[in-house]
Structure formats: C-alpha cells, structure tokens
Amino acid sequence: MDNIKLIIFDLDGTLIDSLDDLTDATNHMLVSLGRKPVGRDQVRGYVGQGARRLAEKAMPNAVPEEIEVGLSTFLAYNEEHIVDKTRLYPGAGETLEALRDRGITLTVVSNKNVALCRKVLSTLGAEDFFAVVVGADSLPQRKPSPEPLLLVLRQFGVAPEQAVMVGDSINDIAAGKAASMVTVGCGWGYGDPSEIRDADYRINALPELLDLPVFREAADPGAPGREDSYDSHESPFRKNPVE
C-alpha cells in the first residue's frame, strides 16, 4: 500500500466540539417561533446533515414556510455566536501539526456551510492547517455522497487508496467507503457508536491517529504495510474484520 498523502476531516464532532453553540442556536430558533426549547442530547441527534435538516428535525410538524423562517433564524444566530462555547477537541492542534509535519495534506469536508466552517476554524486558530475546506454549499451533493471527497482527491491528484476520511458519523464513514478511502471513526463525536462500526479503524482521541498503521507508514516510509504492521492483540485500535 502507498503511503497516505491526504486526510479529509469532518468538522463538527470530529475536530471541534460545537454542540453547546448548536444547542443555543437551535433553542433560539425554537423559542422565536413559539416552540419549547430542547436539550443538548436532543440536538445531538439533529446534527450531521446540515442546517436545513437540523431545522426539520427540530420542528417535525412545521410547514415549509416555518422551516424557512427557522432556518434563517438559526443560521443568523449561529454565525453571530459560532464560537461562544465551541472549542477544538483535546489534542487536535498537536495532532494536526504532527500530521502536517509528516508531509500529509490536511483538508476538511463538512455538511456545515463553508463560510461558517472557515469562520470557526479561523477564530480557533486552526484554518492554516488545511489546504482546502469544502462545505455543504460548495457543490450540490453533500455527505454521505462521496462527491465532496472525490472533488478533494481530484483537486490534489491523490488516489483514493492514498487518502483517509476521519469522522464521527455514518455520513462520514459511508462517504469514505463510497470513495474507496480508508476510514477512521471517532468515538467522541455526536453520532451513536453504531454509526462508525463499519470504519476501518476506530479511535477514542485525536492523537491516536498518529499511531494507526496507515500513519506510521507516513512517519517511517520503511515501515511494513498496513496489514503486516497491524496486530489486533497489541494495538489499542480496533480494525473491523473483512466480511
């Protein structure tokens, strides 16, 4: 297997913990429309498919006109308060720096609108790590479609087997699989653990990326290949068996 040359990260629930700000924006939307606020755990189940889908899930009986008003209200509040409580996950900065130092191209593909992605990354001091950021409004398709991922691969001339998709939800893993990329599921994010069970690897903290076999190859070009270097009895990382 060739060394990994490019990583595509999901954003919310993978690199950043934005759930409190998303909860505040959701409740601002609901209360402004005369609805009852909801809890953080409920909002956790709404995120992952873009702001419109969040509004639809939060207001399941709303008419289309109410969804449009709610969506505009949510987006305006969220942009104004995008990093009131949002933070990078522990070890994110150090992990991104270490991967960049290994010569790996780092990118983001999110189902959040691209301007909001860039604003939060810039405010948190992380934008310079990424060669490109693709958002929900960057092209017609969004995850779980592989198209945003394939767009990034084409842009950098990288083959799917030389790239990794890292994310916390079924949308991330499904998109990565459909693009024929290596997939890494993040156990700390917003998705249910079952959503990442089909990932090639599963990790519980971002720094664990650095010790996965595929990334050890980037650090040491003379290291053995992915299958040869992985020992399920010695490694803390779980690789799903091929069925």
Which helix (H) or strand (E) is 54 found in, with range?
helix 51-58
Contacts of 157-165 spanning 24+ positions with Cβ under 8 A? 158/5, 158/6, 158/105, 159/2, 161/1, 161/2, 162/2, 162/3, 162/4, 162/5, 162/6, 163/4, 163/5, 163/6, 163/7, 163/8, 164/4, 164/6, 164/7, 164/8, 164/214, 165/7, 165/8, 165/10
Which helix (H) or strand (E) is 87 found in, with range?
strand 87-88
Beta bridge partners of 8: 107, 165
Strand bridging mode 87-88 / 105-109? unpaired
**Secondary structure (DSSP) of 186-230:** ETTSSS-GGGGTTSSEEESSGGGGGGSHHHHHHH-TTS--HHHH-
Look up 231 and say whether it is catalytic.
no
Residue of 2, 10, 24, 211 with catalytic role: 10
Q: Which two tokens stand for residue 196?
A: 């990442």
Residue type, 19: L
Catalytic site positions: 10
